[in-house]
Structure 1
Amino acid sequence: MYQKAIVLIDELKQLLEKHNIPINENTNLRIETMLQTVKDDNQLYNLDYIINWFKKKREESDMIVQEIGVNDLDKWNVDKTTGNISHVSGGFFEIIGIKASNTFDREVGKEGWTQPIIAKNPGGILGLLTKKINGVTHFLLQAKAEPGNIDKLQLSPTLQATTSNLLKAHGGTKPLFAEYFDNPKNAKIIYSKWQSEDGGRFYLKSNYNMIVEVDEDEELEIPNSFLWVTLYQIKQLMKIENFVGPHVRGIISYL
């Protein structure tokens, strides 16, 4: 299959050259990406296996989420003067209030509005680790539980970590695979750009979106909450409601 793909890529390049379309590194990436989206050629798992694997992970999740009052939050403080909410470490984020005015192009009119908003968040890294297996590009996703997710788990990037997570402000461990994205040494950066987050909920926040490739010969220890999938499979999984998290969708938009 890999050899057939090489032949097809060469034929496409010849066709482009015939029409005087220049061939460069970006062209090669676009051709390879196009081929990745048309066939389920995962060398490890077919699409049905991945869907069943993820559903089982959801069933096995023992995370319990319970709504409590803000005053009952551990290590979070409410400022008596401003009402702002912040963590005792000074990290993570802060809930502040903002006032938007002169908003002529919005549905509320020029008078604007006030609202709470998540602020003082330095952002973080949203990264997909990629590796060729038998010549086929695969991406490492995690079935990750978050308290606000529908059905607890969503398929998330290899690394989904705030700066506070990377600095271990919570007192826990450094996120898995962080070494491949935080000043990577033995990996090739395919894509790395700051991308803004939802400005209606986050104040002046952006995340560093990355796609990083490891060598095909490198052996990785993959925990049981992670799975190698192809770009074709990601696009098919996106057709299932509440399966693929927004950060994965955002990162692969580059491709």
Structure 2
Amino acid sequence: MKNTEIALSRTKIAENFPELSEIGIELILSSMVEEHPELSTAEFFTWLDDLNKSVTFDIEFVPLTELKNWNVDELGNVRHESGKFFSIQGIRVKSANQNVVKEWDQPIINQPEVGFLGILCQKRGDVLCFLMQGKIEPGNVNKIQLSPTLQATKSNFMQVHGGNVPKFLEYFKDEVEGRKIIVDQLQSEQGARFLRKRNRNMIIEMPASTNLEVPDNFCWLTLNQLKYLLSYPNLINMDTRTVLSCIQIV
């Protein structure tokens, strides 16, 4: 869409749905724009391919006893020496529900902390776009997947690992001038695998005038492009999906 077509579409949405808020109109418009001039869908796949080619990745399986800074205690639980991150413990579950297995044993990841899953959005070329991160994680079958702008546990952003502060953390953690909160929901994470783990799912809009320094492994996409990319297996990661699912058009 050209800027004139975008403006006309915005006007038509407002006329047909007068009950919508300003952000509701912008979200619908973003879901309609198929090819954004800043990064077309074809250009996105070129960006993704180049990013995958630039990344080296190797996984080596080692015994738990050889993991750096991790220990197995006398009960068989796996813990980090800092006492942070998470521990892997055994649990026994008993259920009164007659429609499920009444009792079973399983390992579970005990992580009683709240992390951030956050996506920044901003008007780019007069269309609301979402800042996505090309992120590689050990369990990915295809190297790079699209993750939220910020994907960090509390131990990560508190730098327990000794690394850098996650990029864009301040926009979600602090009261940054000009920010508008579109989504802010506390959600539990995979209760069958995690114990007491929650994430703060957020979408933050920043003014178009805010200069965001975006690294090469980040890209801007419209909602329409994200909807299209959802049809590709193993491309939009789980955390991105859960954040986007929190959007309400009001």
Question: In the TM superposition, what are the counterparts of 1:41-190 in structure 2 within 5 Å?
Answer: 41-80=35-74, 82-105=75-98, 107=100, 109-110=101-102, 112-186=103-177, 187-190=179-182
Structure with the bigger RCO (C-alpha within 8 Å, sep 6+) is 2
The residue type paired with residue 217 of structure 1 is S
- Within the candidate set 226, 237, 243, 1:234 is matched to 226
Q: Pick closer, same or farther for the CA change 1:60–1:15 going to 2, 3 Å.
A: closer
**Displacement of 1:67:** 1.4
Runs (4+) of structure 1 exceeding 4 A deviation are: none
Q: Pick closer, same or farther for the CA change 1:103–1:245 going to 2, 3 Å.
A: farther
CA contact (8 A) 1:191 1:210 kept: yes
Are 1:246 and 2:238 matched, yes or no?
Answer: yes
Following the alignment from structure 2 to structure 1, what is the Cα–Cα distance between the partners of residues 39 and 176? 29
Alignment-derived partner of residue 15 in structure 2: 14
Report the identity percentage: 36
Alignment-derived partner of residue 203 in structure 1: 195
Are 1:194 and 2:195 matched, yes or no?
Answer: no
Alignment-derived partner of residue 214 in structure 2: 222
CA deviation profile, 1:77-129 (whole Å, cap 9, x unmatched): 1111x11111111111111111111253554x22x201000013403000101
Q: TM-score, normalised by structure 2?
A: 0.91
Following the alignment from structure 2 to structure 1, what is the Cα–Cα distance between the partners of residues 198 and 99? 23
SS, match of residue 224 in structure 2: helix
Following the alignment from structure 1 to structure 2, what is the Cα–Cα distance between the partners of residues 43 and 176? 25
Following the alignment from structure 1 to structure 2, what is the Cα–Cα distance between the partners of residues 105 and 117? 23
Q: Pick closer, same or farther for the CA change 1:200–1:230 going to 2, 3 Å.
A: same
Q: Pick closer, same or farther for the CA change 1:134–1:12 going to 2, 3 Å.
A: closer
The residue type paired with residue 243 of structure 1 is L
The residue type paired with residue 104 of structure 1 is N
Alignment-derived partner of residue 38 in structure 1: 32
The residue type paired with residue 11 of structure 1 is K
SS, match of residue 181 in structure 1: helix
Unpaired runs of at least 5, structure 2: none
Unpaired runs of at least 5, structure 1: 18-22
SS, match of residue 207 in structure 1: strand
CA contact (8 A) 1:43 1:136 kept: no
CA contact (8 A) 2:185 2:202 kept: yes
Alignment-derived partner of residue 20 in structure 1: none
